[in-house]
Amino acid sequence: MTPPLLDRLLQIGDLFQKDMARAFDGTTLTPSRVHLLWMLQHAGPSTQQALAHLCEVSPRNITGLVDALEQSGHVRRTPHPTDRRSVIVELTAVATETMTQMQREHDELNKTLLDAVAPADRAAVARGVEAIAHRLEELVSAASADSITGKT
């Protein structure tokens, strides 16, 4: 019997988490820290408030993440050019190299995974994954809105 799609998606998510844990074993990087570095890589230097919004965490959480990444040499804080109350968080050269390597590995894994699918089926798989991701985003948004308004 073929497992339901949801079971397979959960299995894939679990495998990605295990692979990330393996990749960063022995380093100071955690999934949350890597996520913050990924956001900085794509958004560029940002305020902590903007990073909290991008990472969907509280300002308190972002402060802890930035503190740890600053201590490990992955980010630096610099004064905001126009707002004395804010700082800009940016990647260091070490983090830029780490993220460049991570992007290469990401691209290689993407290719390896797609190679498991017959070339004639790849477009259909991409459309299906996109549709599933979009639908799940809708469901999560609706559930979040319901929890705010008190609906069940």
Mind spelling out the 3-state secondary structure of the chain?
CCCCHHHHHHHHHHHHHHHHHHHCCCCCCCHHHHHHHHHHHHHCCEEHHHHHHHHCCCHHHHHHHHHHHHHCCCEEEEECCCCCCCEEEEECHHHHHHHHHHHHHHHHHHHHHHHCCCHHHHHHHHHHHHHHHHHHHHHHHHHHHHHHHCCC
Query: Residues 27, 94: contact at Cβ < 8 Å?
Result: no
pLDDT along the chain (152 residues), means of 10: 91 92 88 93 94 92 96 95 92 94 92 95 95 94 79 62
| pTM reported for the whole predicted model | 0.79
pLDDT at 122: 95
pLDDT at 152: 57
Closest to 65 measured CA to CA, from 82, 50, 48: 48
Q: Quote the tokens at residue 127.
A: 């459309």
